[in-house]
Structure 1
């Protein structure tokens, strides 16, 4: 992205790209062709100078036979809630809403809230 500075995350991703490329035994030219960028642009990615485009990560993952998450540190990954977590939270919300409804109903019965 023009005008955007690379971050520490970009630098770590660049280190990984370089390491994965070398481990796979691929040349900079081969990887650059797969990404449809110049070899100098790939070097900038590897050096952490330029930001890698998000749509390039799956290409690199396939090329290096890696998982997409291998390009990120565990603490950089978003955690996705499980169905059990979501269901538990929904159950808690349901209980709270029932309590609120019960309090409103009791207040109406006690005349604290007018019904008209």
Structure 2
């Protein structure tokens, strides 16, 4: 992997938000869940589709804080427009585990 500068890192706007709504996305090619995330007053609500069904259901996602990149351009995922990239790591079986703060923090907070 190529090295980047600190200024390159600062270009990636990673924020915390709370999932306020989630629903299955059965039309997706791979199992996925649609999420609407509140990133606080500065950024507001953004939506995304994520392949997180190995560890989460729509019901377990609502109210959960997640980390996401908020300054990528929107991307069409099937018939759904994704406006944020939620961040996660693969478990040993390839299931995605979402990244989140280990204590509640204000929505919209930027990762330092």
TM interval, short-chain normalised: under 0.3
Instruction: Kindly name which structure, 1 or 2, has the bigger radius of gyration based on alpha carbons.
Output: 1
TM-score w.r.t. length of structure 1: 0.19
Is the strand fraction higher in 1 or 2?
2
Higher relative contact order (CA 8 A, sep 6+): 2
